[in-house]
Copies of this chain bind each other. A is one copy, B any other.
């Protein structure tokens, strides 16, 4: 059941970085919904490598072909399958990785799990490339959520040790969705130059950096979510940790809550006219696993891309000996920028599934 997810909808993800194609099947979508294809393409383009200065020189079209569940410009309510062909793959780059494993990468685990039968080219099934399927599914869920008044957006909360301002208690839906149009989404844009410099100088060294992405959803009504195993936090986290390089997730003030007194951490309820709000939102809009009606706010830790060009110590299982690896190929020196639409997509999928 590893690659099937969801309750209300069902996502089935398939593909490898260098297989013929990758794709996703989305089951239980409502029938009769006209999809905004331009919007889907825009989301795909946000994640796709564009050869830009923060991206791998690889160009991946990430063109999605919808092969089922869509007829006469509307969803039919049957499984919608989107397929992305893997083009421009340079498998030769990866030949050495069959037995020499990249530190920080999944190669070794998959080698063990599959008894050496894994598709090691480009990380195979665990390649970041497969997040394209999540962005596609997320772009659809975003459109369905928008119809219910829910907007989703994210920004780069930090690159290495440079920190952007976090979201406030109140979040303006228009400003939130405006973030999705920025190539390098920041709340305090004055930080861009320093972040850019940090990334490029790392690239210079053949090294990489990571960062933190903060994501929010506004307009979600209260009482959404399920007890226990489908709490909003559980549901979101199970998807967020499916995204390669994510090593931490916190909701609201997260770890900072552990340094507060209960009297500081609790968010007092208040009537504002007929509307119930909380004057603070330390819990990120989630209490007991259910939404409170306040913005859903969480952030995720993205580790530095493990693919670096600096020589590293590792093993060669064919020779059964220690060795050194000098990585070839085309890799991002900072995946955080391209990960922003992925985190938004995952947020959209998880929330729509609970709605």
Of residues 328 through 349 on chain A, the ones whose CB sits less than 8 Å from some CB of chain B are none
B residues less than 8 Å from A13 (CB atoms): 79, 228-229
Contact with B along A129-157 (1 / 0, CB 8 A): 01000000000000000000000000000
B117 near A261: Cβ-Cβ < 8 Å: no
Q: Which of B115, B251, B313 contacts A268 (CB 8 A)?
A: B313
B residues less than 8 Å from A23 (CB atoms): 67-68, 81
B residues less than 8 Å from A253 (CB atoms): 247
Q: A283 to B303, alpha carbons, bound, how many Å? A: 9
B15 near A262: Cβ-Cβ < 8 Å: no
Of residues 233 through 276 on chain A, the ones whose CB sits less than 8 Å from some CB of chain B are 233-235, 237-242, 244, 246-255, 257-263, 265-271, 276
Of residues 81 through 139 on chain A, the ones whose CB sits less than 8 Å from some CB of chain B are 81, 83, 101, 103-119, 121, 123-126, 130
Q: Which of A116, A253, A266, A278 has the most CB of B within 10 A?
A: A266
A60: interface (CB < 8 Å):
no
Question: Would you give the shortest CB distance from A76 to chain B, in whole angstroms?
Answer: 5
Q: What are some 7 contacts across the A-B interface (CB < 8 A)? A: A32-B117, A109-B222, A113-B290, A234-B238, A244-B288, A248-B255, A255-B255
- 9 nearest A-B residue pairs (beta carbon): A106-B288, A112-B223, A2-B226, A109-B290, A248-B250, A208-B262, A104-B266, A233-B241, A31-B114
